[in-house]
Amino acid sequence: MSTDPAPLLAAAWQRRAALHASPDTDAYRLIHRAGDGFPSLSVDRYADVLVANVYSQGLRVQPPIAVLETLAGYVGARAVYVKYRPLQASRLDDEARQALAPAEPLLGQAMESVEVRENGLRFIARPADGLNAGLFLDMRPARAFVRARAAGKTVLNCFAYTCAFAVAALAGGAARVLNIDISRRYLDWGRQNVAANGFAAPPTDFVYGDVFDWLRRFARRGQRFDLVIVDPPSYSTTRQTRFSVERDTARLVALAAGVVRTGGLLLAATNCEGLPQRGFVARVREGLAGFPARIVRTLHEPALDFPLAPGASPYLKVCVVQSG
């Protein structure tokens, strides 16, 4: 990065002019690391709150306050929070996570939650809530894809987190969305996101449990869905399972493909930077062996606010699989 960040900031801001002007979206990335000339920094906008991610291998280093103050001035931010990104967040205990994600803002006033908009849909972000604020901004194209194809469909949303895919599917006219996650707290958050958009979903559509276990149950029952979404964390551990996206993607895809109705779609996704596109596609195809299904499309992070550095490849990988 040059000694004067002002030209880089100006270029990054101009690159996102269409997003700044949008009346329907106020949650997106303002700075994307090396793609914008800041290798150790990304900054996300959640309406009038900014979340800065400092990539310091989990060390509490001095954040670039001048850069953050400038961005805060651009958007009229009421608060700026900082997260110090470790190599593998999923392997941290609660105390370590808290140390890397201070609950108090670096700048401005504390904001427990803020309502944001994405393509006209409403989501509740909690910028002080650990390392993630509740809405993964790089999934915007994938949520738009689901919304455009959900009309009249039954949807199974695995690893549902705060149910952003459910909101997109319901906005697209889905007949039903069944959400599964291992965290009751995130499912409660998901219920709030669904309600914030005026949708009525029964409590039974928010299922606490292990995705692998539930996929096996659905298969035994012969229960099928028109659209199945699997977007697991790169690494996770539950009482029943230990999951690694590099090791277990094929097994997960095989279970998910088994509950997709003929003619339906499966979305398999990962943001694991250590697994390249070719490797992820190979694992998805391995999981589809024996099923009449094929990959018909791939999606990635949005280029507008997640620009690639020279020579870099997209880190977000979404395979759209057609069954039948």
Report pLDDT digits (tens) over 164-179: 999 999 999 999 999 9
Q: Are residues 22 and 146 in the same domain?
A: no
The label of the residue with tokens 């002080």 reads 128
By percentage, how much of the chain surpasses pLDDT 70?
94
Specify the length of the chain in residues.
324
- How many Cβ atoms are within 10 Å of 61's Cβ, its own excluded? 13
pLDDT at 97: 65
Calpha distance 49→147 (Å, rounded) = 26
Residue of 226, 216, 117 lying closest to 178 (CA atoms):
226
Token pair for 218? 């659905």
Q: Is residue 266 part of a domain?
A: yes
Question: pLDDT tens across 104-146, in order?
Answer: 999 999 999 999 999 999 999 999 999 999 999 999 999 999 9
Angle at 74 between CA 69 and CA 75, to 5 degrees: 100
- Residues 189 and 242 occupy one common structural domain: yes
The per-residue pLDDT for 91 is 53
End of a domain among 113, 129, 153? 113
**Cβ contact 159:186 at 8 Å:** no
Name residue 81's beta-bridge partners. Answer: 51
Q: Are residues 147 and 107 in the same domain?
A: no
Residues 234 and 306 in one domain: yes
Q: Kindly state whether residue 132 falls inside one of the protein's structural domains.
A: no
Predicted confidence band of residue 57 (pLDDT cuts 50, 70, 90): confident
Q: Residue 161 sits in a domain of what CATH number?
A: 3.40.50.150
The answer, yes or no, to whether residue 238 has pLDDT greater than 90, is no
Segment 93-114, tens digit of pLDDT: 556 667 799 999 999 999 999 9
User: What H or E segment, with its residue span, contains residue 164?
Assistant: helix 164-171
Query: Do 180 and 279 fall within a single domain?
Result: yes
pLDDT score of 88 more than 50? yes
d(CA 282, CA 245): 12
Q: Residue 94's pLDDT is what?
A: 57
- pLDDT top residue among 1 and 292: 292
Helices 164-171, 184-196: crossing angle, 10 deg rounding: 30
Number of domains observed in the structure of the chain? 2
Which residues contact residue 42 at a Cβ distance below 8 angstroms, ignoring those fewer than 6 apart?
29, 31, 32, 33, 52, 53, 55
Q: 239 falls in which pLDDT band (50, 70, 90)? A: low
What CATH number does residue 89 fall under? Answer: 3.30.750.80
> Could you tell me the pLDDT band of residue 21, with boundaries at 50, 70 and 90?
very high
Which has more pLDDT, 88 or 133?
133
pLDDT at residue 161 tops 70: yes
8: its two tokens: 């880089």
118 found inside a domain: no
Answer yes or no: is pLDDT of 188 > 80.
yes
Which helix (H) or strand (E) segment holds residue 266: the answer is: strand 260-270
Contact 128, 81 (CB under 8 A): yes
Residue 245 belongs to what domain range? 137-323
Mean pLDDT lowest for which of 100-109, 144-153, 242-251, 267-276?
242-251
Domain termination residue (choose one: 113, 129, 159): 113
Q: What is the pLDDT of residue 234?
A: 87
pLDDT score for 3: 72
User: Does the residue 26 lie in any domain?
Assistant: yes
pLDDT at 226 over 90: yes
Is 45 domain-assigned? Answer: yes
**210 & 318 share domain:** yes
207 pLDDT tier (thresholds 50, 70, 90): very high
SS3 292: coil
- Residue range 271-295: average pLDDT? 96
Closest CA to 142 of 276, 270, 12: 270
What is the DSSP annotation of 177-239?
Answer: EEEEES-HHHHHHHHHHHHHTT----GGGEEES-HHHHHHHHHHHT--EEEEEE---SEEE-S
pLDDT tops 50 at residue 1:
no
Please report the pLDDT score of residue 235 as a whole number: 81
- Which pTM was predicted? 0.94
What would the two tokens of residue 214 be?
Answer: 């539930």
- Could you tell me which residues come within 8 angstroms of residue 33 by beta carbon, excluding any fewer than 6 positions away? 39, 40, 41, 42, 55, 309
